[in-house]
Amino acid sequence: MLLLAAYLVLAAVTCALWYWVSVQRHRRRAREVIVWIQSALSGQGQVGGIRWMAPSRFKVPLSLTCGVFHRASVMIEMMPCEFPMHWLMARLKRRREIFTFQADLDLPPAFSLHVQNFRWFARSSRRAQRKENDWTIEQSGPIVISTRSDWKKEISCAMTSLARGDHEFSSIEFQRRSPHFSVSLPLEAIAPGTPTQAFLFESMRELASSSSASLS
């Protein structure tokens, strides 16, 4: 019994230490991400602080100078590593850290639209050699798989803007209720030196404007 109790105490202390180290790591990571966000704003607004929603998730209110977005904020989901099992499952599933921008628009969209962006890479066989000289690479244009057989004018305008943009958005959502506009992408896409960081908010503003333009 004493040996079992000792193991339980050791396990509890180990988990507590793991949790404390993970929380400290998340805090350091959050400060780094705040700098990334401020840099991505490029003088178009200011970060309004940080609100922790969970040990690995926090919200950043934004004060933007452009008139398109209102009550804007960013939600950051980091790797959940506060518990060993959570960390292991996230690693096995190759979970990525996520950046999600949310805001209301001047006018609520007249439609609801949820777009998932997928990219496929394939070869004829897993055993095929990967030497670049032996391959002919072809890149196709955007292919849209829709759950609707007919599109309204305003949806067509939004989809045209999506197809024209070159971005890393993994999820885009328009909806009539607040928040009207939501965009998600991998957190590393806004890291310093990445092409996405320089024009991130410009791309989102152009995309959000497509819903208003469709009403004019």
Q: Which residues are paired to 101 by β-bridges? A: 74, 183
**Could you tell me if residue 140 is inside a domain?**
no
Separation between Cα atoms, residue 134 and residue 29, nearest integer Å: 42
**Could you tell me if residue 110 is inside a domain?**
yes
20, 54, 176 from 180: Cα distances, Å: 37, 24, 6
**Could you tell me if residue 189 is inside a domain?**
yes
Domain that holds residue 183: 2-118+148-213
**Could you tell me if residue 192 is inside a domain?**
yes
Nearest to 185 by CA among 69, 92, 71, 76: 76
pTM: 0.77
pLDDT of residue 185: 92
Residue 203 dihedral angles phi and psi, to the nearest 5°? -65, -40
Which pLDDT tens digits describe the chain residue by residue (216 residues)? 777 777 777 778 888 888 888 888 999 999 999 999 998 888 888 998 899 998 889 999 999 887 789 999 999 999 888 777 777 887 788 888 999 999 999 888 877 788 877 665 555 555 666 665 666 666 666 666 666 666 665 566 666 656 555 567 888 888 889 999 999 999 998 888 888 887 888 888 888 876 655 444
Number of domains in the chain: 1
Neighbouring CB atoms inside 10 A of 33's CB total 21
